[in-house]
Amino acid sequence: MIEVREHERPSTVSEAVAVQQRLRPLVRFDGQPAEVRTAAGLDVAYDESSDELVAAVAVLDVPALSVVDSTVVRGRAEFPYVPGLFAFREAPPLLAALQQLSVVPDVLVCDGQGLAHPRRFGLACHLGVLTDLPAIGVGKTPMGRFDPPGEPRGAWTSIEMDGEEVGRALRTQEHVKPVFVSVGHRYALDAACDLVLGLAPKYRLPETTRAADQLGRRAG
């Protein structure tokens, strides 16, 4: 079972920012698993008419890209919609879902940001630190400045914030919009991009994200 580090549940923006600033120094940037056999996709779907949500986790066998374990948790958002603080809405149900897995994944692939965040502590950092599992963020939309990468699959450019590289815009399919990869915890950026390319042989988004999204939609 995945063990989770506990922290106080903030009720205000200032309290949430303080939690991010306290946990941020715990992020590790070194290395990655010697072998990635399983990767977990994490996604949260919202009911547009209420604060209800569905958190879905799908664990894939990496060579086969087939689902070997999955969990779904239904709940309600416990924190308001505030840019830069999405983790306080999404982390609690995602952590609950992770704790229900029978397979401990080698890496978490989050539908969101890691270091590409105003306080360098996006959802992938948050979940990585609280579980101490390797984690990366693969966002659909950018956070930071970047130049468009070349058109071939595998082309990339740096994403920068305040003059610092915080991630990469990565072209997973030729002539298709890039995804935005950033380190979450216990992973190097080069290796994170290699993993994302391996998880996205046919489509723009990695199969981990696609599987978690489909799982959440079926459960919603």
pLDDT score at 49: 67
Residue 4 lies in a domain: no
User: What is the reported pTM?
Assistant: 0.94
pLDDT score at 46: 87
d(CA 97, CA 58): 10
Say which DSSP state 25 is in.
G
Residue 41 lies in a domain: yes
pLDDT score at 171: 98
pLDDT score at 219: 78
Residue 26 lies in a domain: no
CATH number where 147 lies: 3.30.2170.10
Residue 30 lies in a domain: no
pLDDT score at 177: 96
Residue 17 lies in a domain: no
What is the domain extent for residue 103? 37-219
pLDDT score at 220: 64
pLDDT tens-digit series, residues 88-138: 999 999 999 999 999 999 999 999 999 999 999 999 999 999 999 999 999
Please check if 51 is assigned to a binding site: no
Please check if 213 is assigned to a binding site: no
**Ramachandran class of 62: left when φ > 0, alpha when ψ lies in -120 to 50, beta otherwise:** alpha
Residue 21 lies in a domain: no
Residue 185 lies in a domain: yes
The domain total for the chain is: 1
Q: Print burial letters for 163-201: b (CB count within 10 Å at least 16), e (below 16).
A: eeebbbbbbbbeeeebbbbbbbbbbebebbbebbbebbe
- CB-based burial label for 162 (10 Å; 0-12, 13-18, 19+): exposed
pLDDT score at 155: 97
Mean pLDDT in consecutive groups of 10 residues from the start of the chain, 220 residues: 85 94 91 88 85 93 96 90 90 95 96 94 96 96 93 96 95 96 95 96 97 87
